[in-house]
Amino acid sequence: MTLYNKTFANFDNGFFGYATMGILSQSCLGGAAAMTVLSNGTSIIQMAQLALIVLVSMLANTFILAQMNHKVIFNTLLISFITSTLLIIANSL
């Protein structure tokens, strides 16, 4: 069993707890990513990055609140975490 499948099985078994932690953690990480992007200015590139962060974070929160399929929520949370982390790293350099 791969790491992805094991992690999804844990997420699926404790969905309500993990969904709650997912909302909190990805919202905080998205806020940190937005702060990092805006610390470099307000050009069109930064605004596009900010729009991407807001879109992905809101999608993850919306999918959780809409009680979508657990696999869709899990994948959206992963995309949100990865996107925010990559943009923090890219704008920190």
Question: In this structure, what DSSP letter does residue 1 have?
Answer: -
- DSSP secondary structure letters along 32-79: HHHHHHHTT--SHHHHHHHHHHHHHHHHHHHHHHTT--HHHHHHHHHH
Tell me the pTM.
0.90
> What pLDDT is recorded for position 93?
87
> What pLDDT is recorded for position 64?
95
Mean pLDDT by 10 residues, the chain (93 residues): 92 95 95 95 94 96 94 96 96 91
> What pLDDT is recorded for position 83?
96
